[in-house]
C-alpha cells in the first residue's frame, strides 16, 4: 500500500527543485513545466526524513508539507 507523505502548495512553490536535490531516496523529480512543483515519482519509497521540508527556501510559507502516515505515528501511554 502506497502512502502519500508529501504535499505541494502550487501557489507558493517556485519550482526551485531544492527538495529534489536533497531527497536521499530520489523519489522526487523536476516538473517538466518550469516553475511548477516537483513530481513525486515513488510515493511509497519515502524515508520520512523531512529533509525536503527543512531545506525548502519557501519553508515558512509551506510550499511543501510532510505528513507522517497515520499507521506510522507512534504513541506511548504511561
Ligand atoms: S517545494 Fe520548496 S524546495 Fe521544493 S521546488 Fe517548491 S519551493 Fe523549491
Ligand atoms: S521526507 Fe525525505 S525521503 Fe521523503 S521525500 Fe522528503 S527528503 Fe525525500
Measured in whole angstroms, how far is the alpha carbon of residue 73 from the centre of its chain?
Answer: 17
3-state secondary structure of 12: coil
Give the domain extent around 10.
Answer: 6-68
CA distance 75 to 25: 27
53: CATH: 3.30.70.20
Q: Which ligand is nearest to the CA of 27?
A: 2
DSSP tag of 37: P
pTM comes to 0.88
Domain membership of residue 41 (yes or no) is yes
63, 11 Cβ separation under 8 angstroms: no
Number of domains in the chain: 1
Report the separation in Å between the CA atom of 20 and the middle of ligand 2, taken as the mean of its atom positions: 9
Strand pairing report for 28-29 and 39-40:
antiparallel
Q: Which residue, 69, 59, 67, 68, is CA-closest to 18?
A: 59
Domain membership of residue 1 (yes or no) is no
* Per-residue pLDDT tens digits for 34-56: 999 999 998 888 888 889 999 99
* Per-residue pLDDT tens digits for 9-31: 999 999 999 999 999 999 999 99
Amino acid at each position: 500500500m502506497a502512502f502519500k507523505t508529501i504535499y505541494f502548495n502550487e501557489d507558493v512553490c517556485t519550482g526551485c527543485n531544492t527538495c529534489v536535490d536533497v531527497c536521499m531516496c530520489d523519489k522526487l523529480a523536476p516538473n517538466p513545466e518550469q516553475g511548477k512543483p516537483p513530481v513525486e515519482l515513488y510515493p511509497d519509497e519515502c524515508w520520512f526524513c523531512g529533509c525536503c521540508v527543512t531545506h525548502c527556501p519557501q519553508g515558512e510559507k509551506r510550499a511543501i508539507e510532510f505528513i507522517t502516515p497515520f499507521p506510522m505515528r507512534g504513541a506511548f501511554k504511561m
